[in-house]
Chains A and B, each alone.
Chain A
Amino acid sequence: MEYVSPFDERRREPEPLAPRRHALQGARVALLDITKRRGDEFLDRIEERLREHGAETFRVAKEIFSKPAEPELIRRIANRGDLAVEGLAD
């Protein structure tokens, strides 16, 4: 019996992961605030700890937590950063 699938069966190839970086010294770390409440407090503390380990940090924020990050924001993180830390949830 032929059925019509409700799924989009096209399989997407996974994006390859960027090379992993193992040392924080000198790393440029993007701290992404998704704009959920108190995410900034979490990222403040993470920023402090990262700097203690010699990382450079920069802050970026999504416009709203419930939508995917804008492509421009992702590009900015990829261009400027070696690593990214995202502050999720409340």
Chain B
Amino acid sequence: MAAPAPRTRAPSFALPSTTGGSLGLDDLVAGGPALLIFASEECPTCALALRRLAAIVAPLQAAGVGLAVVFEDPLDVAARVARDARFKGTVLAEPAPYDTSRAYGLESLPTTILLDRDAAVAGTVVGWDAEALSALVGEACAAVGAPAPAITSERPRKKPGCAAKSTYDDEMLALIDRAGAADEMEDMFERGWTDGLPVVPPTRSRVDAMLAGRDPHESLGEVPPGTGEATLERVAACAVLAGCRPEYFPVVLAAVEAALDPAFNVGGQAVTTQPAGQLVIVSGPVAAAIGVHSGMGVLGPGFRANLTIGRALRLVVTLTGGGAPGRLDRSTLGHPGKLGFCIAENEDGSPWEPLHVERGFARDDSVVTVVGCDAPLSISDHRATTPAELAEILGWAGAATWSPNWWPLGGTSVYVVCPEHQAMFGAAGWSKQRLREAMFDAVRKPARELRRGETTPQVHAAAPDDVITKWDRPDDIVLLAAGGEAGRYSAVLGPCLGMNSQMVSLEVAWST
């Protein structure tokens, strides 16, 4: 199609904008003349033009001159390239088949078109041509009586661009589509779609397989701290990136939904200087059905469902929610579990009722529980001969968590109790509750011994000989039965404090 003749009305369009919604020709010239720039991701001259024009976006906006760039790319690519160029003007996307580009008769990119306030074409500049663009900007500003901002005089002053994608034939377009990025894995890092480890590229077909017919636009809510919206499509993209199989997705969805419960305060956990991550505990039949591991080496590495389900939740928090480490995530040290932290209980081999049953669900319900917690601290005990002795040892290991003199803890301690330790309690008929109470009773000190460094207001307020316990109540001790059959190693996971964060359980929408 030929380019529109000068002084004739430019072709209409309505294209999706990176700020949401769509923007049309009349919107663009609503306030006066406007510059419309066509560009593409692959074109180096376009990148140069956008970087250089970024400096005049604000003065043009202040003068009332509209400015928009139309990318011959999908919206997310357009947003990324504009962000990389620090271009803060309006960004629109026109993926294949490039009807708007064709209507404007584009041959190469970048092409900058000056539209007057009646949306007629008042001038066109092809490629990077600083002099011609200065004249175009000057004309636009003169029309509104504003001084024209200067375009940089940096070299090169002129640079030809690339062919517009609208000029490609179908065979060429198919080739580009198949080729993808030069190195797809590196491309993921360049996009920032990672937690530091390689990811699985979230192609449309993989994401669709994850969604399995669910409405991609359904929302689970805003994800703090940066408040991106967790649409099912974005959660599915995170699950693909994390390496999940589609059958894990119901558990991922339940974990994300549980984490977004305000009572969990994932926003506070995401930004704190504490190391805390989000532990996902999968209970009920779904755990075995999809292979969430509860046995040897349960805290990892080695088990795909555990690692990838936990990782998917973390990617929702860090990518969709914007809680990326070193940015909004201000954790001083972090811990490896922040990559992904997910376990199941050994429900059939344990002498105890599983966590979800303790929390009011039926044994056959499939449930996800999320809890904010610190890295595991291993507790070796191969010598205790009575349950009371072992309870005391487990309890005292928890005494040092958070800070050795911070009593009472004011939060939850999650214990992973290994099968040989479970067996000692089971043989003596000890329930989880009895063990909790024994641990709670065992760990106490007079206030005077706790008055060093970081101590609680309760310790300060107490008389020197008043007895202080490590926990406010036995129920602050959460017991999980998991781990390998040999070796007497249990573990305690420190808390995430100051968040007013509750453990949240949610049933998984799942059936066999």
Chain A contacts to B: CB under 8 angstroms: 1-13, 64-68
Asked if residues B320 and A8 are in contact (CB atoms below 8 Å), the reply is: yes
Chain A, residue nearest B312 (CB): A6
A4 near B202 (CB under 8 angstroms)?
yes
A-B contacts counted at CB < 8 A amount to 90
Complex: chain A residue closest to B207, CB-CB:
A4
Query: Size band of the B side of the interface?
Result: 35 or more
Contact B76 A9 (CB under 8 A): yes
Select one of A2, A6, A67 contacting B500, CB under 8 A. A67
Cβ contacts A to B, 24 pairs, < 8 Å: A1-B177, A1-B178, A3-B76, A4-B76, A4-B207, A4-B237, A5-B76, A5-B191, A5-B202, A6-B193, A6-B202, A6-B237, A6-B320, A7-B319, A8-B229, A9-B18, A9-B79, A10-B18, A11-B79, A64-B500, A66-B272, A66-B498, A67-B500, A68-B267
> Which positions 223-248 of chain B face chain A at CB distance < 8 Å?
224, 227-229, 233-234, 236-238, 240-241
A9 to B316, CA, bound (A): 14
Q: Say how far A32's CB is from chain B's closest CB, in angstroms.
A: 17
Contact of A7 among B227, B240, B320, B500 (CB under 8 A): B320
Q: Which of B1-51 contact A (CB under 8 A)?
A: 18-20
Candidate in A6, A13, A66 with the most chain B CB atoms within 10 angstroms: A6
Q: Across the interface, which residues of B come within 8 angstroms of A8, CB to CB?
A: 227-229, 234, 320
Which residues from chain B contact A13 at a C-beta distance below 8 Å?
19
Distance A3 CA – B18 CA, assembled complex (angstroms): 16
A67: chain B residues within 8 A (beta carbon): 265, 267-268, 500
Those of B72-108 within 8 Å (CB) of chain A: 74-76, 79, 91, 95
**B315 proximal to A (CB < 8 A):** yes
- Chain B residues with CB under 8 Å of A10's CB are 18-20
Say which residue of A1, A5, A64 sits within 8 Å of B237 (CB atoms). A5
Contacts of B228 on A, CB cut-off 8 Å?
7-8
In the bound assembly, the distance between CA atoms of A52 and B74 in angstroms comes to 58
CB pair B19 A6 closer than 8 Å: no
Most buried by A among B79, B180, B201: B79
Instruction: Using A1-B178, A11-B79 as known contacts, list a sample of 5 further A-B pairs with CB atoms less than 8 Å apart, ordered by residue number in A.
Output: A5-B234, A5-B237, A6-B319, A68-B224, A68-B267
Residues of chain A lying within 8 A (CB to CB) of residue B289: none
Chain B residue with Cβ nearest A2: B204
Majority secondary structure, A binding face = loop
Q: In the docked arrangement, what's the CA distance between A5 and B237, Å?
A: 7
B177 in contact with A12 (CB, 8 Å):
no
Task: Give me the 4 closest cross-chain CB pairs, A-B, nearest first.
Answer: A8-B228, A66-B268, A1-B180, A5-B76
A10 to B494, CA, bound (A): 37
Once bound together, how far apart are the Cα atoms of A5 and B228, in whole Å?
12
Chain B residue, CB-CB nearest to A66:
B268
**Which chain B residues border A5 with CB–CB below 8 Å?**
76, 79, 191, 193, 202, 234, 237
| Cβ contacts under 8 Å, A9 to chain B | 18, 75-76, 79
Assess whether B203 is interfacial by the CB under 8 Å rule. Answer: yes
B181 contacts chain A at the CB level, 8 A cutoff: yes
Is the CB–CB distance between A6 and B241 below 8 Å?
yes
Cβ-based interface call for B499 (8 A): yes
A65→B79 CA distance, assembly (Å): 33
Cα–Cα, bound, A21→B227 (Å)? 30
Any A CB within 8 A of the CB of B184 = yes
Which A residue sits closest to B269, measured CB to CB?
Answer: A66
Q: A5-B237, A6-B315 are in contact. Are A11 and B18 (CB under 8 A)?
A: yes
User: Which residues of the other chain, A, contact B181 by a CB distance below 8 angstroms?
Assistant: 1
Closest Cβ–Cβ distance, residue B353 to chain A (whole Å) = 32
Contact of A3 among B19, B79, B202, B267 (CB under 8 A): B202
- CA of A2 to CA of B320, assembled, Å: 18
Distance between Cα atoms of A65 and B229 in the complex (Å): 24
From the candidates A3, A11, A12, A66, name the one contacting B201 in the complex (CB within 8 A).
Answer: A3
Q: How far is the CB of A77 from chain B (nearest CB, A)?
A: 20
Least CB distance from A2 to B in Å reads: 5
Closest B residue by C-beta to A37: B457
- The distance in angstroms between the C-alpha atoms of A13 and B268, with both chains bound, is 24
Residue-wise interface mask of B (299-337) relative to A, using a CB-CB cutoff of 8 A (1 in contact, 0 not): 000000000000000011001100000000000000000
Cα of A9 to Cα of B19 in the assembled complex, Å: 7
Nearest-neighbour CB distance to chain A for B374, whole angstroms, equals 16
